[in-house]
Amino acid sequence: MTATTPDWVNPLRAADDKRLPQIAGPSGMVIFGVTGDLARRKLLPAIYDLANRGLLPAGFTLVGFGRRTWSKQDFEDYVREAVEAGARTKFREHVWERLAEGAHFVEGNFDEAGFDRLAATLAEMDTTRGTAGNWAFYLSVPPDYFSDVCHQLQRSGLAEAGEDSWRRVIIEKPFGHDQETARELNQVVNAVFPEKAVFRIDHYLGKETVQNILALRFANQLFDPLWNSHYVDHVQITMAEDIGLGGRAGYYDGIGAARDVIQNHLIQLLALIAMEEPVAFEPTELQAEKVKVLRATSPVYPLNKTTARGQYTAGWQGSQPVIGLREEEGFDPESTTETYAACTLQIHSRRWAGVPFYLRTGKRLGRRVTEIAVVFKEAPHQPFTQSQRTSLGQNAVVIRVQPDEGVLMRFGSKVPGSAMEVRDVNMDFSYAEAFTEESPEAYERLILDVLLDEPSLFPTNEEVELSWEILDPILDYWAAQGRPDGYRAGTWGPASADRMLERTGRTWRRP
């Protein structure tokens, strides 16, 4: 039997990506919304970084689509500026020149004429640049346009792959406003592209530390025996940001923290922390386990006690005075959009029965940090007196997603000296210290995965709809409550969030 070497490797299946190349085959990408913030800050730099790492094919072609009347040179200048400002890897003239050769701009609205021009451009590229009919369409546009873009892609024949070529569509969040609208969107997209050609981006899944959750849980013997309701007291999933919303009113007002972050990033983190071991590290097996755990997840009631939300008011971020949300440009001063959201979820399974999962996210909080803390119950019996363990808390495993990526274990240890005193200590694993390789940016990995047809790190339509099903009752409850509480910028959220945990005898970690 001869062993065949695949020309690409799923990072979840083969850890050693140095031995086997993961280079995308002939292909190109069209970005709708190329002049937007996401494309400029993340997508264009990520494409350059992939090119710089030699992971894109020689004839890779980047097509921007938009309303501007740009020449090829204008587009090249724009992309170059974005790359110079945002790329992770060094700027190298010869890499840039090759990428620039394949950069084209097609002017158009989401109407027939624009898409006919696009179709003609792609056909030309297939001949001149060898893209071979393989195109990924990146919808970095507000969801209101998804339907028009999909319809036009279908009408112009662009959605249809040839026998030996592929067409894929990449969709950015927010994927719907609730379960109903997410369903409608899924129907719109799936009427044009088969589900296997749809890649919904949740960039948290592209983060190295998020993928490490699976390695930590399933490659080790150490954690799994404790990973259940017998030993775990509760889980806290935190995504805190210090930035405010200046300049993002158009996107954020009316959406808020829960739809922006909990529905996607945090519920995905919960699924990875709580799911059962997949039969294999195959996309369908991973997705099946995530779906199973999401189906078993629901809010804990009553929602007036188990959720909290807030809106930042003026305060201090470090030594800088900052304004409140309602003073931010573009926000309705009467806006009820929350910038802080916390909720309590439960998982109806043997493993997790009775273990609360606390999720929280907010803007203008104390500092930028994303972490998952699995907090353990106290030992059932203590031979040490209360006074010998005044500084002993609950054991915890904390997965630090960012910054200072790593894993921390908190447990009790004897304080040196003749008295017996037990106190919390931290054992800290840091990516930066343990490995010399730098992690790729989340978008780099995800864009490459689309070109490689590797769907493991992309939520399916079912996952998206289930996440909304979990969140919808909370959103409906909040919608009936009027204005959220205020919290001062630079603090850790509204007092109601503290009360939410205090009621259960617990406190939030101060990361």
**What is the binding site for ligand BG6 (CB under 6 A)?**
241, 260-261, 370
261 or 325: whose CB is closer to ligand BG6? 261
208 or 233: whose CB is closer to ligand BG6? 208
Q: How far is the CB of 420 from ligand BG6 (least distance, A)?
A: 43
260 or 405: whose CB is closer to ligand BG6? 260
Work out the angle between the directed axes of helices 146-155 and 112-128 (0-180°, nearest 10): 60
Instruction: Tokens for 163, please give them.
Output: 């026998």
Q: How far is the CB of 401 from ligand BG6 (least distance, A)?
A: 8
346 or 467: whose CB is closer to ligand BG6? 467
What's the Cα-to-Cα distance from 58 to each of 26, 101, 130, 189, 503, rounded to whole Å?
A: 8, 11, 9, 30, 60
Q: Which residue is nearest to ligand BG6 (CB)?
A: 260
Comparing C-alpha atoms, which of 369, 377, 378 is closest to residue 400? 369
Cα-Cα end-to-end distance for the chain? 54
Under a CB-based contact definition with an 8 Å cutoff, are residues 60 and 95 in contact? Answer: no
Give the long-range contacts of residues 313-317, CB within 8 A, separation 24 or more.
313/486, 313/487, 313/488, 313/489, 314/488, 314/489, 315/364, 315/488, 315/489, 315/490, 315/491, 316/489, 316/490, 317/242, 317/244, 317/364, 317/489, 317/490
Under a CB-based contact definition with an 8 Å cutoff, are residues 461 and 195 in contact? Answer: yes
261 or 275: whose CB is closer to ligand BG6? 261
158 or 245: whose CB is closer to ligand BG6? 245
Q: How far is the CB of 347 from ligand BG6 (least distance, A)?
A: 24
> For the chain, what is the radius of gyration of the CA atoms?
24
Comparing C-alpha atoms, which of 185, 129, 120 is closest to residue 157? 120
Binding residues: 67, 173, 203, 207, 241, 260, 363
CA–CA separation, 167 vs 185, rounded Å? 19
For residue 406, list its beta bridge partners: 400, 430
CA–CA separation, 52 vs 415, rounded Å? 51
CA–CA separation, 287 vs 117, rounded Å? 38
Q: Please give the full DSSP string across 371-389, using - where no structure is assigned.
A: EEEEEEPPPS--SS-GGGG
H helices present in 137-277, as ranges:
146-155, 179-192, 208-218, 249-252, 256-257, 267-274
Work out the angle between the directed axes of helices 93-101 and 44-52 (0-180°, nearest 10): 120
Q: How far is the CB of 402 from ligand BG6 (least distance, A)?
A: 6
Q: How far is the CB of 244 from ligand BG6 (least distance, A)?
A: 10
- Amino acid identity for residue 506 in this structure: R
3-state secondary structure of 113: helix
Q: How far is the CB of 204 from ligand BG6 (least distance, A)?
A: 7
Q: How far is the CB of 174 from ligand BG6 (least distance, A)?
A: 8
Catalytic residue among 177, 230, 265, 381: 265
Any idea what the Cα angle at residue 65 is, between residues 62 and 67, rounded to 5°? 150
405 or 421: whose CB is closer to ligand BG6? 405
Instruction: Tokens for 198, please give them.
Output: 């749809």
Q: How far is the CB of 251 from ligand BG6 (least distance, A)?
A: 8
Under a CB-based contact definition with an 8 Å cutoff, are residues 238 and 36 in contact? Answer: no
Active site residue 265: yes
156 or 339: whose CB is closer to ligand BG6? 339
Catalytic positions? 265
